[in-house]
C-alpha cells in the first residue's frame, strides 16, 4: 500500500477553534478579526478544501459575533449562508439563504445573532474571468461582479448541494480528495455550478447613502488601526474622521449592530484576552496587559472582563498557555485503498459488461473497466458503478462526479 505524501493529505483540512483570533487567522483569502458579542466559550469548526485553482471553505460558529476585515486583492471571493439560521447582516444588510455575496476589497463588517453557518468559494482574479469565458462563454471580469446576487433557485440549490457534499468528503473520507481524477472532476463541477449562479445575476443596487456610510466606516476603521492601544473618545474620533457623533452612532448601529464606543471596547477586550491567554508564566501581569490595550481603570476592566468572559483576568492569566487550534479527529496520514480485500472490507467486483442485481453478494468475473463497490463504506469509485447503483446505496456525493479510471485498480 502506498503512503500518500504530505502535499496530497493537506488538500483538505478540518480545524476546531476556541480562540476567535486564531480562527480568524485561518480564514483564507481574507484578513479579518472576529469578536464574540455574548458571554460563553467560542467554538467553531472550519473545513477547507484547496483545489488547483479554486479554494472553498465552510464553517460553523456557536456564538453571536461581529467581524471586521477585507478580502485579499488577488482573489474573487463569494460567500453565502449554508442554511436557515438567526439573522446575519453584511454591512447592515440582512442576508438570506439563496443569496451570493460577491465581495469587493473594501472594509466590511458582518454581524451574526446566533449559531452561524456559512460557506465561501474563491478564484484568482484572472482565473475567474478565464473560467467564465471557457465554461459559460461569457466575458465577465471580477471587478464587474460585486454586491449581493440572487441566482435562480434551482441553480443555487445545485451549488449548495455540491458545496456541502465536498465539505462532507473532507470530513469523512479525505483520502478521496487525494485522487487526481476525482479532484479534477470535483473542481470542474463545483466551479461550473457556482459560475452558473453568478453569470446573468444582477447585483442588488447600492444606494448613494449606503456608499457614503461605507466611506465613513472605512475612515473609522483606519483611525482605530492608527491608534491600536490608545483609549479613544467619541468626540475625538468624530473630529478625526469628519462626521457628527449622531451620524457615526447611526452608521455603526446599522453596520455593527452596536454603537461605536461599545465596539471599540469590545475589540480591545478581546485583544486583551488573547494576550492574557498566551502570556508565559511570570512574563506579564494583568496590569501590564490591560494598560497596553488601553484599559487604565483596572477595577472597571476586571468587572467588564468578568461580565464578558465569565472569569477574572487573573484566572485567565494563571492558566498555562496552550495551543487553541486543534484538528478534528482524523488520520494524520492516509493510505490508498487496498487493491484486494486485505483490510477486511466486503467487496463486490463487477465486470464492465455485467449488470449485477443490487446488493448481490456473488462476485462476477472482472473484465476490462472493472470497478468496485465497498459494502462497508458504501463507496463507489467510477461512473459505471454510479450508473448502476442508486445514491442511497453509495456516498451521496459520488453521484455528482465522473471518473475516467477506477482509483482502487492496482497500479500498472
Which distant-in-sequence residues (6+ apart) come within 8 Å of 204 by Cβ? 93, 147, 148, 149, 150
Classify residue 201 by its DSSP letter.
Answer: P
Residue 271 corresponds to which cell in the numbers above? 485583544
- pLDDT single digits (tens) 135-145: 888 888 888 88
Q: Give me the sheet containing 12-17, strands edge to edge.
A: 147-149, 100-102, 75-81, 116-124, 55-61, 44-50, 12-17, 325-327
pLDDT greater at residue 212 or residue 153: 153
Judged against a pLDDT cut of 70, whether residue 268 lies above it is answered with: yes
SS3 404: coil
Contact status, residue 273 vs residue 309, Cβ threshold 8 Å: yes
Report d(CA 61, CA 115) in Å as an integer.
6
Average pLDDT over residues 112-141: 91
User: Which of 118-122, 263-267, 329-333 tops mean pLDDT?
Assistant: 118-122
> What pLDDT digit, counting tens, does each position of 286-327 carry?
999 998 888 888 899 999 998 888 889 999 898 877 544 443
More confident residue, 204 or 332: 204
Task: Dump the DSSP string for 133-195.
Answer: HHHH-----GGG--EEE---HHHHHHHHHHHHHHHHHHHH-GGGGG-HHHHHHHHHHHHHHHH
Residue 94 has pLDDT above 90, yes or no: yes
Q: What percent of the chain has pLDDT over 90?
A: 37
Please tell me the distance from the alpha carbon of residue 8 to that of residue 336, in angstroms, as a whole number.
11
Assigned C-alpha cell, 289: 496587559
Cα(242)–Cα(224) distance, integer angstroms: 14
Q: Give residue-wise pLDDT tens across range 205-236.
A: 545 567 788 889 888 988 888 887 677 778 88
Indicate whether 159 pLDDT > 90.
yes
d(CA 286, CA 265): 17
Regarding pTM above 0.95, the answer is: no
Average pLDDT over residues 396-410: 36
- Residue located via cell numbers 506579564: 284
Residue 254 clears pLDDT 80, i.e. is over it: yes
Helix axes 298-309, 260-278, angle to 10 degrees: 90
Tell me phi and psi for residue 148, to 5 degrees.
-95, 120
Q: Average of pLDDT values for 168-172?
A: 93
Please report which confidence band the pLDDT of residue 80 belongs to, taking 50, 70 and 90 as the band edges: very high
pLDDT of residue 344: 32
Name the residue with cell 486564531.
Answer: 22
What lies within 8 Å, CB to CB, of 310 at 6+ separation is: 39, 40
pLDDT of residue 229: 65
Is pLDDT above 90 for 373?
Answer: no
C-alpha cell at 399: 453521484
Average pLDDT over residues 196-204: 73
Amino acid at each position: 500500500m502506498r503512503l500518500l505524501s504530505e502535499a496530497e493529505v493537506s488538500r483538505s483540512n478540518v480545524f476546531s477553534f476556541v480562540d476567535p483570533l486564531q480562527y480568524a487567522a485561518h480564514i483564507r483569502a481574507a484578513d479579518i478579526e472576529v469578536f464574540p458579542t455574548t458571554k460563553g466559550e467560542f467554538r467553531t469548526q472550519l473545513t477547507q478544501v484547496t483545489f488547483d485553482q479554486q479554494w472553498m471553505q465552510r464553517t460553523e460558529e456557536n456564538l453571536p459575533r461581529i467581524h471586521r476585515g477585507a478580502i485579499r486583492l488577488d482573489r474573487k471571493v463569494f460567500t453565502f449562508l449554508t442554511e436557515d439560521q438567526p439573522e446575519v447582516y453584511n454591512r447592515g444588510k440582512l442576508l438570506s439563504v439563496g443569496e451570493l455575496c460577491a465581495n469587493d476589497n473594501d472594509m466590511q463588517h458582518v454581524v451574526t445573532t446566533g449559531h452561524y453557518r456559512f460557506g465561501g468559494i474563491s478564484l484568482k482574479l484572472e482565473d475567474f474571468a478565464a473560467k467564465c469565458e471557457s465554461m459559460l462563454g461569457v466575458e465577465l471580469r471580477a471587478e464587474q461582479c460585486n454586491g449581493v446576487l440572487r441566482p435562480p433557485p434551482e441553480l443555487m440549490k445545485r451549488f449548495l448541494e455540491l458545496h456541502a457534499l465536498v465539505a462532507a468528503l473532507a470530513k469523512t473520507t479525505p483520502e478521496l480528495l487525494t485522487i487526481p481524477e476525482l479532484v479534477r472532476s470535483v473542481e470542474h463541477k463545483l466551479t461550473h455550478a457556482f459560475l452558473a449562479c453568478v453569470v446573468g445575476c444582477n447585483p442588488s443596487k447600492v444606494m448613494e447613502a449606503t456608499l457614503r456610510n461605507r466611506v465613513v466606516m472605512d475612515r473609522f476603521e483606519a483611525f482605530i488601526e492608527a491608534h491600536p492601544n490608545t483609549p479613544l473618545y467619541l468626540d475625538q474620533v468624530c473630529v478625526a474622521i469628519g462626521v457628527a457623533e449622531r451620524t457615526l452612532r447611526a452608521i455603526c448601529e446599522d453596520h455593527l449592530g452596536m454603537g461605536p464606543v461599545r465596539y471599540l471596547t469590545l475589540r480591545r477586550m478581546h485583544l486583551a484576552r488573547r494576550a492574557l491567554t498566551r502570556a508565559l508564566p511570570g512574563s506579564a501581569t494583568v496590569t501590564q496587559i490591560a494598560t497596553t490595550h488601553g484599559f487604565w481603570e483596572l477595577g472597571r476592566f476586571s468587572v467588564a472582563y468578568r461580565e464578558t468572559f465569565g472569569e477574572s483576568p487573573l484566572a485567565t492569566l494563571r492558566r498555562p498557555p496552550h495551543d487553541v487550534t486543534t484538528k478534528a479527529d482524523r488520520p494524520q496520514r492516509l493510505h490508498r485503498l487496498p487493491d484486494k480485500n486485505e483490510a477486511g472490507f466486503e467487496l463486490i467486483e463487477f465486470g464492465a459488461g455485467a449488470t449485477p442485481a443490487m446488493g448481490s453478494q456473488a462476485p462476477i468475473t472482472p473484465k476490462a473497466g472493472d470497478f468496485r463497490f465497498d459494502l462497508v463504506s458504501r463507496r463507489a469509485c467510477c461512473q459505471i458503478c454510479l450508473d448502476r447503483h442508486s445514491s442511497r446505496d453509495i456516498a451521496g456525493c459520488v453521484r455528482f462526479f465522473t471518473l475516467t479510471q477506477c482509483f482502487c485498480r492496482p497500479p500498472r
